[in-house]
Amino acid sequence: MNLSAWLSAEILGLGFLLTFALLFYIFYYWKHRASYQKELEELRRIDAFTRLRKTIGQAIENGRGLQISIGSGGLNGIRGAAGLVSLSMLLVITQKSCKGDQSPQVTSGDGALASLAQDTLHKAYRLAAVESNSKASQNQVTGITPFSYAAGAMLTILDQPLQANLLAGNFGSEAGLLAEAGERSSQLVIAGSDGLPAQSVMLATADDALIGEELFAGGAYLSAEPSHEASVKAQDILRWIIILIILAGVILKLAGAL
Amino acid sequence: MDSITCLTCGHLNPPDNHKCEICGSPIETQDSPIDATKSGSQSPNPPEDLSSPHIPGEIHGVGGLLGKASLTPAQQAHTRLLKELIAGEGTTPTPPGQPKMRANNLLRIGVGSVIILLILISLLVELPFFSPPELSSETLAARQLIYSLPPGAPVLVAFDYQPAYIGEMSRASQGILAHLMAQQAYLTLISTQPTGPALAELLIAEIGRYTGSVYQAPEQYQNLGYLPGGASGLLIFSEKPHQMTPVTADGEPAWENSEVNQINHISDFSLVLVITDDPETGRTWIEQIGPKLGDKPLVFVSSAQAAPILQPYYASQPQQLQGLISGVAGGMAYQESALFFLNNNQAGVPWSTYSLALWAGAAIMILGVIVAFICRMNEEDSEPRSGGMKP
Amino acid sequence: MRRRPFSVFLLVIAIASGLVVLLGYWINLPALATLRDLFVRWAAILAGMAVLVGILNLLYVHWLKVSQPKPGGAYSLALLIAFVLTFLVAIVDTPTGSWSLWIFRYVQLPVEASLLALLAITLLVAVFRMLHRRFDWFSLVFIGTAILILVGSTYLPEVNMPVLQSLRTWLLQVPTVAGARGILLGIGIGVVATGVRILTGSDRPYEG
Amino acid sequence: MIIGLLLTLCVFSYWLHDNALFRLAIHIFIGATAAYVTAILWFNVIWPQVLHPIWSGNLKNTLLALVPLILSILLIFKVFPRLSAAGSPALAYMVGVGAAVAIGGAIIGTIVPQTLTAINSFDLQAAQTSGESSWITTINQGIILIGTLTSLVYFHFSARQKFNQPPARAGWIEDIARIGKIFIAITLGALLAGVFMAATAALVERLNFLSQFVQSLISG
């Protein structure tokens, strides 16, 4: 007998969503109240993020910029989520680096993402109370299909004396070409994507790769924002809930209850 | 000053280095900016130690592996070149300014020339060395579904792959598309990627060249062109196809032919065939369209890179995918098994050359493991590293 | 920090439109369903328009490079010329006309396919570099699986390798499925987290 | 045909070294692709879905058709730095709907089905009835279950800060995560093989194109 017949998928899904939203709010207010200082120590070490945080500082020291490629996913569906994560990372990175007049170079493969990146840059300048000096070429669409985007981004990577490349967003296997271009110009390459082929390629080509869900924790690892912290905590708990549901379901199945 | 140990490969680097000479990964000292252009001096232990011992190991490895792939003397010469080049990664005298860039370039050129020459040679010799792939159960299932289609059955075909994959995807899908045409199905072509419509037209024309009878629009197929909005677009298309795609790719009114003018819901198609290179796109189709199809079958032609993710949907209970043809192998198997003959064995991606290239790739990867292992042996004295992404 | 009224307005738009669509997944009211379909359809059309915005941005940046002489201005000029020519042909001849298809076939396809072909070489080199970077069991399992599957995907008549092929099938049907399911679930959770942050207004990428 | 050949060679030259020909080919390619996409957009989106509906049908349809038109115009404002702010509402709308579709897709499309499949695939009855010997099937199902759970655990982020040590997760979580990492490595390895196969197909196809061209020249 099929479990989905016994338990309506919609109900289960709604349960997941509400649980997550609830947990998110609880943690959000908890973090907000308690004036938390050591959020970062509360997360397991992920080499890619550790190195990224160092690199941001070094970029300012050497006056060499960062390039952030936020992919060509657009805003729809799961790909869109990857793009939104990369934007929240862009906000944090720009806030940190624009004081040293080293605001990052952004490339994207979609108009909506590029516009959002522009707004994010402005917002970062505003929050950092720095005069916006962003040029049109600082945030550009380098191509409109995944491969033409990758090809254009390769050229911008090869052209500029960059400290590091962050590939965060929706990519296909063409991400390998971007990573290789960064390697050619001896830049550090940190890469993460929601696409699975891209992840395998990044693992092989990039200096540091983010696997699966790690990309979606980017905000929490880079900033001390309570909302990011809260969502990571909520993610952890939701994950355990799913694990328990699977275990319970299997046990019930073995017991023949389903 | 003490020399710095690279946390990544354990290699001892001179104190002024910021990127490891061996692995090129940044050396994490708090105050040292990662700047490869600064690191350039020779490694404390002479690089010859790194390279010389592993030559025999490689001869064993390469001989053993490429041997299976029937090496011509020319190819052996090139594998030897490759070995020297990898040895070069340790030994190349690296002038200040570009530490391991040159070694990397040499490695890239070496590896590239080996595999390119291998492919070119086997293309010219054309030896039918590898036997054609076997017909897998999911491919067989797809074939049975096509056979069961009545003439004139409306079939939705999605061309959702990047033009870059045309070699693999056309080889994978030619068989089933030619079969659909042989069954006189009425094809409705669509794509959620703007370059899809052109790919569709090209493939239809190409198959026409192979089979001798070219499908004609709008009598035998209509090309609905580009469907914007990814998941959202599909969601609406599945319920209101006319509303979401009122015209064809070249702006003519669509849905005019008798085979399709009665179609008001995705489940009115007799079969949905999705040709994709990307597991995300594939999952979007399965998740948005699958549930709405009712008892109508959903069949995939997928690139080899998407197959590992899509296969579970075929195996799942209840089955979310009724047929799957994956990669060049799947396409070949389908063609071999079908009752008609496509005269395209030497066009596009010849199976024998392709197989040989895969063998060469595997051999080079094994070579990489051997080289890395031997380098590792030489680094034994430095602190061991648990490595990569720590759990 | 007090929010400006405009950003409050944006916040309301984002949350309202999002909630309508989200509720449509669960609450089964005809009116809501119609509204949701309308919203989603508009979003799909806008996604198409966003592509156009991207193209305009692309052209704008390259126009700047051409107009105010910069290094690489010539390339940008080539890009703009290629754009104008192709656009004229594709508009006059329609995107599926023979001329448009000719350009597609002999300009776009070769470059894209060649880039992907380069990736094959890049990956092989990357394997060397990766194993030098970190020679640990994770990398070895990673590369080892790849090798096994590559070898198991071909069929030698002389050397029959049932073991290799069944091992490949097992790898693809058991551990790969397990790992993929875990990763996909993880990504799913991450996506939900991102979406919730947007719909609760704690992430507002749209406010400049 | 000759153009295709030249462009192919230009791109392949990047394999040797980054050079002007490669850059030229790439720029032409980006321009041509963008133009083709623009034409497709005109024929499939802008005309039939945004402009045409305005003066077709009754007042209600016209009004409904005005909304995407206005939103589209607002979106286009985003291109011009001065008018950029005017485009934000359209963008906010897209972000809102996009986030909702993402949540819906992730929950209805991925989380729930994958969870249920993980449970349902562990099916002893099926194991008994299946052709192959039942205990092998059961073992495989067990492995899949363990793999799914452990690789999920691998992602667990929260950790505890011990006294002047890097933050680490509880020991037992670490152990489970280590197992999960093996499965993740295998999955990504399988995908790497897939990507390599796809890329190799492209390489073979391109080289075949070249060699056939050369052969046709030789044969005249």
Chain A to chain D Cβ contacts (< 8 Å) = 185
Residues facing residue A107 across a β-bridge = A69, A140
Mutation for testing the A interface, residue in C19, C191, C198, C206 having most A CBs under 10 Å: C191
- What distance in Å separates residue A225's CA from the closest CA in chain C? 10
Distance from C-alpha of B203 to C-alpha of C67, rounded to nearest angstrom: 40
What pLDDT, on a 0 to 100 scale, did the predictor assign at position C189? Answer: 94
What integer is the mean pLDDT of A136-153? Answer: 89
Only one residue has tokens 């404390």, namely: B44
What pLDDT, on a 0 to 100 scale, did the predictor assign at position D30? Answer: 96
Environment class of D113 (CB within 10 Å of its CB; exposed 0-12, middle 13-18, buried 19+): buried
Distance from C-alpha of C165 to C-alpha of C150, rounded to nearest angstrom: 10
Distance from C-alpha of A78 to C-alpha of A216, rounded to nearest angstrom: 11
Among A69-78, A134-143, C98-107, the range of highest mean pLDDT: C98-107
3-state DSSP assignment of residue A105: strand
Q: What percent of chain B has pLDDT over 90?
A: 35
What integer is the mean pLDDT of A53-66? Answer: 83
Asked if the model's pLDDT at residue B278 lies above 50, the reply is: yes
In one-letter notation, the amino acid at residue D47 is W
Position A159 in a domain: yes
Distance from C-alpha of D124 to C-alpha of D130, rounded to nearest angstrom: 10
Tell me if chain A has a CB within 8 Å of the CB of D148.
yes
CA distances from D194 to A173, B135, D198 (A): 10, 18, 6
Residues 177-206 of A with CB under 8 A from D: 184, 196-197, 199-201, 203-204
Against chain A, the chains showing at least 3 CB pairs within 8 Å are B, C, D
Chain A residue numbers with beta carbons less than 8 Å from the beta carbon of D153 are: 239, 243
What integer is the mean pLDDT of B205-224? Answer: 87
Residues 62-121 of C with CB under 8 A from B: 94-97, 100-101, 104-105, 108-109, 112-113, 115-116, 120-121
Residues 53-92 of A with CB under 8 A from D: 75-78, 80-81, 84
Number of helical H runs and strand E runs in chain A: 10, 6
Only one residue has tokens 């290179």, namely: B277
Question: For residue A256, which phi and psi values (nearest 5 degrees)?
Answer: 80, 10
SS (H, E, C) chain B: CCCEECCCCCCEECCCCCECCCCCCECCCCCCCCCHHHCCCCCCCCCHHHHCCHHHHHHHHHHHHHHHCCCCHHHHHHHHHHHHHHHHHHHCCCCCCCCCHHHHHHHHHHHHHHHHHHHHHHHHHCCCCCCCCCCCHHHHHHHHHHHCCCCCCEEEEEEECCHHHHHHHHHHHHHHHHHHHHCCCEEEEEECCCCHHHHHHHHHHHHHHHHCCCCCCCCCEEEEEECCCHHHHHHHHHHCHHHHCCECCCCCECCCCCCCCCCCCHHHCCEEEEEECCHHHHHHHHHHCHHHCCCCCEEEEECCCCHHHHHHHHHCCCCCCCEEEEHHHHHHHHHHHCCCCCCCCCCCCCHHHHHHHHHHHHHHHHHHHHHHHHHHHHCCCCCCCCCCCCC
Q: Where are the beta strands (DSSP E) in A56-204?
A: 65-71, 105-108, 139-141, 162-170, 188-193
The DSSP code sequence of D24-79 is HHHHHHHHHHHHHHHHHHIIIIIIIIIIGGGGSS-HHHHHHHHHHHHHHHHHHHTT
Asked if the model's pLDDT at residue B323 lies above 90, the reply is: yes
| Mean per-residue pLDDT over chain B, rounded | 75
Only one residue has tokens 């990736």, namely: C119
What pLDDT, on a 0 to 100 scale, did the predictor assign at position B35? Answer: 36
3-state DSSP assignment of residue A125: helix
3-state DSSP assignment of residue C94: coil
* Minimum CA–CA partner of B229 in chain D: D98
Q: Do B251 and C94 touch (CB under 8 A)?
A: yes
Q: What is the DSSP letter of A162?
A: E
Asked if the model's pLDDT at residue D204 lies above 90, the reply is: yes
Greatest C-alpha distance within chain B: 84
The parent domain of residue A152 ranges over 46-226
Q: Do D202 and B228 touch (CB under 8 A)?
A: no
What pLDDT, on a 0 to 100 scale, did the predictor assign at position B96? Answer: 38
Token pair for A145: 């299909």
Q: Do C50 and A112 touch (CB under 8 A)?
A: yes
* Minimum CA–CA partner of B197 in chain D: D40
pLDDT in tens, D46-69: 988 888 888 877 788 888 889 999
Distance from C-alpha of A194 to C-alpha of A223, rounded to nearest angstrom: 21
What pLDDT, on a 0 to 100 scale, did the predictor assign at position B92? Answer: 34
Contacts of B146 (CB under 8 A, 6+ apart): B176, B179, B180, B183, B271
CA distances from C95 to C89, D91, D181 (A): 8, 29, 47
Q: What percent of chain D has pLDDT over 70?
A: 93
Among A138-147, B14-23, B137-146, B351-360, the range scoring the smallest mean pLDDT is B14-23
Q: Do D193 and B357 touch (CB under 8 A)?
A: no
Task: Tell me the pairing of strands B154-160 and B271-276.
Answer: parallel
- What distance in Å separates residue C123's CA from the closest CA in chain B? 9
The continuous run of DSSP H or E covering A217 comes out as none
What integer is the mean pLDDT of D144-163? Answer: 88
- What distance in Å separates residue C68's CA from the closest CA in chain B? 31
Position A161 in a domain: yes
Q: How confident is the model at residue B211 (pLDDT cuts 50, 70, 90)?
A: confident
Q: Do A115 and D184 touch (CB under 8 A)?
A: no
SS (H, E, C) C106-130: HHHHHHHHHHHHHHHHHHHHHHHHH
The CA dihedral of C14, C20, C24, C25, to the nearest 10 degrees, is: 30
Distance from C-alpha of B246 to C-alpha of B250, rounded to nearest angstrom: 11
Q: Do B164 and A147 touch (CB under 8 A)?
A: yes
3-state DSSP assignment of residue A108: strand
Q: Do C151 and B362 touch (CB under 8 A)?
A: yes
Token pair for A92: 């944090």
Tell me if chain C has a CB within 8 Å of the CB of B225.
yes
Average pLDDT per run of 10 along chain C, which is 208 residues long?
78 94 87 90 91 93 87 90 96 91 93 94 93 90 94 75 83 91 93 93 86
Q: What is the DSSP letter of C29?
A: -
* Minimum CA–CA partner of A113 in chain D: D91
Higher local confidence (pLDDT), B28 or B332: B332
Position A252 in a domain: no
Q: What percent of chain A has pLDDT over 90?
A: 45
Asked if the model's pLDDT at residue B340 lies above 90, the reply is: no
Distance from C-alpha of B91 to C-alpha of B84, rounded to nearest angstrom: 10
What integer is the mean pLDDT of B235-248? Answer: 89
Contacts of A8 (CB under 8 A, 6+ apart): none
Q: How many CA atoms lie within 13 A of A227 on its CB side?
A: 16
pLDDT in tens, A86-131: 999 999 998 888 777 677 889 999 999 999 999 999 888 888 888 7
Distance from C-alpha of A41 to C-alpha of D162, rounded to nearest angstrom: 9
Q: Do D201 and B105 touch (CB under 8 A)?
A: no
Q: How many CA atoms lie within 13 A of B171 on its CB side?
A: 27
Q: Do C116 and B165 touch (CB under 8 A)?
A: yes
Residues 153-192 of C with CB under 8 A from A: 180, 182-187, 189-192
What pLDDT, on a 0 to 100 scale, did the predictor assign at position C187? Answer: 92
What pLDDT, on a 0 to 100 scale, did the predictor assign at position A7? Answer: 58
* Minimum CA–CA partner of B388 in chain C: C134
Q: Do D48 and B246 touch (CB under 8 A)?
A: yes
In one-letter notation, the amino acid at residue B366 is I
- What distance in Å separates residue A111's CA from the closest CA in chain B? 13
**Which of A58, A74, A184 is opposite residue B230, by nearest beta carbon?**
A74
**Which of B130, B198, B361 is opposite residue C156, by nearest beta carbon?**
B130
3-state DSSP assignment of residue A209: strand
Asked if the model's pLDDT at residue B188 lies above 90, the reply is: yes
What pLDDT, on a 0 to 100 scale, did the predictor assign at position A179? Answer: 93
Residues in chain C: 208
Environment class of B262 (CB within 10 Å of its CB; exposed 0-12, middle 13-18, buried 19+): exposed
What pLDDT, on a 0 to 100 scale, did the predictor assign at position D159? Answer: 84
Distance from C-alpha of B144 to C-alpha of B176, rounded to nearest angstrom: 11
Tell me if chain A has a CB within 8 Å of the CB of D40.
no
Q: Do D186 and C181 touch (CB under 8 A)?
A: no
Among B38-42, D174-178, D216-220, the range scoring the smallest mean pLDDT is B38-42
**Which of B34, B233, B283 is opposite residue A55, by nearest beta carbon?**
B34
What pLDDT, on a 0 to 100 scale, did the predictor assign at position C166? Answer: 85
* Minimum CA–CA partner of A72 in chain B: B193
What pLDDT, on a 0 to 100 scale, did the predictor assign at position C42? Answer: 92
Domains of chain B listed by start with CATH number: 4-86 (no CATH), 106-126+350-383 (no CATH), 131-348 (3.40.50)
Asked if the model's pLDDT at residue A41 lies above 60, the reply is: no
* Minimum CA–CA partner of D194 in chain A: A197
Token pair for B270: 């007799």
What integer is the mean pLDDT of B160-185? Answer: 92
Token pair for B129: 């060395």
Q: How confident is the model at residue D198 (pLDDT cuts 50, 70, 90)?
A: very high
pLDDT in tens, B110-120: 999 999 999 99
Only one residue has tokens 């052969």, namely: D215
In one-letter notation, the amino acid at residue C149 is I
What pLDDT, on a 0 to 100 scale, did the predictor assign at position B341? Answer: 62
CATH at A77 = 3.40.50
Chain-centre distance for alpha carbon D46: 25
Higher local confidence (pLDDT), A221 or B15: A221
Higher local confidence (pLDDT), D194 or C165: D194
- What distance in Å separates residue C70's CA from the closest CA in chain B? 26
Among B193-202, D106-115, D129-138, the range of highest mean pLDDT: B193-202
B181: left (phi over 0), alpha (psi -120 to 50) or beta: alpha
Q: Do C153 and D190 touch (CB under 8 A)?
A: no
Tell me if chain C has a CB within 8 Å of the CB of B235.
yes
CA distances from B368 to B21, C127, D24 (A): 18, 7, 34
What pLDDT, on a 0 to 100 scale, did the predictor assign at position B339? Answer: 61
Position A222 in a domain: yes
pLDDT in tens, A173-210: 999 999 999 988 888 999 999 889 999 999 999 999 99
Distance from C-alpha of D1 to C-alpha of B271, rounded to nearest angstrom: 36
What pLDDT, on a 0 to 100 scale, did the predictor assign at position B198? Answer: 95
What pLDDT, on a 0 to 100 scale, did the predictor assign at position C116? Answer: 95
What pLDDT, on a 0 to 100 scale, did the predictor assign at position A79? Answer: 82
Only one residue has tokens 């605001």, namely: A103
Sign of the four-CA dihedral A73, A74, A77, A82: positive
3-state DSSP assignment of residue A39: coil
Residues 69-108 of C with CB under 8 A from D: 72, 75-76, 78-87, 90-91, 94-95, 100, 103-108
ipTM field: 0.91
Number of structural domains found in chain A = 1
Residues 135-154 of C with CB under 8 A from D: 138, 141-147, 149-150, 153
Mutation for testing the B interface, residue in D9, D38, D40, D150 having most B CBs under 10 Å: D40
